[in-house]
Structure 1
Amino acid sequence: MNGEINTPTERPSGDNKSGPKARSAWAVTRSVWFAMFMREAIGRTMTDRMGWFWMIAEPMAFVMVMVTMRSFIGGDQLIINAPFIPWMIIGMLGFFLVREGLTQGTGAINANRALYAYRQVQPVDGVLVRNFLDGLLRTLIFLMFMLGALLLGTDFRPDNGFQAISGWLSLWALGLGFSLVVSVSGSLISEIDKVIRMLSMPLLIMSGVIMPLNHLPHYLLEYLMLNPIVHGLEYTRHGFFEGYKVVHGTSMLYFWSWTLGMLALGLLMHVRFKERLKAQ
């Protein structure tokens, strides 16, 4: 030992290379959403060879049944300044947009349960991605109906494009709010999911999808107008038919109070019960 102290050899400044740059939380979230979206889209449209057929066949079957009923009840005479079939198609597809949020929320959590082993994946991601995909598919089907109507000589173009689009997106947002709430409550209490599926058909009738609500007695109408779906459908229909007389009491302020409330409640529930949703 000569008393010298061995010090680490200094690395030339040119050799200082930093490791891979860490991605931001938003970049990781986008990657997770894109991967889950592709997984969901392929599973929904490619796994079942009849998947696309049933997406289109369901609303077409409703239209055929309603056209048959119209020949008996004179549907055109019940609606002022709006053709019956386009009026009904708008209501039906708009309702289906909300209904998907109600019925698909719980399935979104269960379908992605294996992915929760990765800490980047949260239960709310599956709900958001599935709702986005459902809305995208329903929008595509709506555009196909509009194109088909135009080819058959029926003018299906909206009189107020901005209002029609904003009404459609508003219904989409309401469906997302319902999906966030139902996904948590239905996962924790399985009976809730069954009750919602049972109420799907009565809710379709009470939302004024196939028959106008204007002709109902006032004492009954004031209760039906508590349903926010009615307000969104009437607003959207008015965007397509400018002279259409909406149901008395239609209010988008009431509609968005419901929508924002459901979105906030759903997100809070996902934060509160995140670990329980993963553990189930």
Structure 2
Amino acid sequence: MSTLQGRTSWQVTRSVWFAMFMREAVSRTMADRMGWFWMIAEPMALIAIMVLIHGINDGGSRLLTGADLIPWMLVGMMGFFLTRESMMRSLGAVDANKALFAYRQVQPVDPVLVRVYLEGLLKTFIFLLFVLGGLLLGLNIFPDNAIRALFGWLSLWALGLGLGLVVSVTGTLIPETAKITRMLSLPLLILSGVLIPLNVLPHSLLEYLMLNPIVHGLELMRLGFFDSYRVTHGTSQIYLWLWILALNALGLLLHTRFRERLKAQ
């Protein structure tokens, strides 16, 4: 179907996404002078704290098989932040762009897709900076299997998109769910095996933690970075992608079903 200007629907959609992307990119990177600093400082501060707790030579390294402590933590943190921030940025995407819904070309799902895409680009750039910095410092952080590591990174990105699509609808229509989602952000950092190897936990507890799809994504990405790394028992690529497909399908269905309510909310 063509528009009155002779452009196809896909061309109109691309124009909308590009305009929203530029708006979000400028707002995210230029509005706050400290924005870039905090993107880099947060994982660095967490790594420094955990290294002090574990100890570089004895405490943490003995808990890992086939990976060094600092690179292992860095890969896990960046993968987790990619998923978490994609979800958290999606929470306010609909409300922040409500004025744009006066244009019929703009749909509530558009700001969610644009924000997750932008978040992925920013996190990828920052992650590459950390990898480069680690290599200059002599850390073993270059991926042993780049294809597997990239696939794990993209899988976590897709998982964040699915979570973002769902919470952007539920958080807008039911504000209490947005508060719950924000409250779960910190516990997820611990329960996803970002800072502590889950292999050291009792099996009775581990079988429940392995229900969390983020764990599977992080472990698969770590395996791409460290060929000899022993992943947590029960890690499954199929399980991860069942979650990704289910969440993305559910999120798109929710946006289609409640599109008019989201516009009027």
Q: TM-score range by the shorter chain?
A: over 0.9
2:207 corresponding residue in structure 1: 222
1:40 corresponding residue in structure 2: 24
Does 1:236 find its partner at 2:207? no
| Other structure's SS at 2:198 match | coil
1:83 corresponding residue in structure 2: 68
Q: Of the candidates 95, 98, 103, which is equivalent to residue 113 of structure 1? A: 98
Question: How big is the shift at 1:155?
Answer: 2.7
Question: How big is the shift at 1:102?
Answer: 2.3
| Other structure's SS at 2:241 match | helix
TM superposition score normalised by structure 2: 0.96
1:28 corresponding residue in structure 2: 12
| Other structure's SS at 1:167 match | helix
Does 1:209 find its partner at 2:194? yes
Question: How big is the shift at 1:109?
Answer: 0.9
Question: How big is the shift at 1:234?
Answer: 0.3
The residue type paired with residue 227 of structure 1 is N
CA contact under 8 A between 2:210 and 2:216: conserved in structure 1?
yes
1:197 corresponding residue in structure 2: 182
Q: Deviations over 1:12-70 (max 9, x none)?
A: xxxxxxxx861000000000000000000000001111111111111111111111112
Does 1:139 find its partner at 2:124? yes
Q: Deviations over 1:181-212 (max 9, x none)?
A: 00000000101111111111111111000010
Q: Of the candidates 45, 66, 87, which is equivalent to residue 50 of structure 2? A: 66
TM superposition score normalised by structure 1: 0.91
Question: How big is the shift at 1:260?
Answer: 0.2
Q: State how far apart, in whole Å, the 2-side matches of 1:64 and 1:165 are.
A: 26
Q: Counting helix residues as a fraction of each chain, which structure ranks higher?
A: 2
Q: Deviations over 1:85-124 (max 9, x none)?
A: 0001111111111111221212111111110000000010
RMSD, aligned CA: 1.1
Q: State how far apart, in whole Å, the 2-side matches of 1:181 and 1:70 are.
A: 37
Q: State how far apart, in whole Å, the 2-side matches of 1:136 and 1:179 are.
A: 16
CA contact under 8 A between 2:86 and 2:120: conserved in structure 1?
no
| Other structure's SS at 1:211 match | coil
2:167 corresponding residue in structure 1: 182
2:232 corresponding residue in structure 1: 247
The residue type paired with residue 204 of structure 1 is L
Equivalent residues, number = 261
2:148 corresponding residue in structure 1: 163
CA contact under 8 A between 2:68 and 2:140: conserved in structure 1?
no
**Structure 2 counterparts to residues 88-103 of structure 1, below 5 A:** 88-103=73-88
Unaligned runs of 5+ in 1: 1-19
Unaligned runs of 5+ in 2: none
> Hey, which bits of structure 1, 4+ residues long, moved more than 6 A?
none
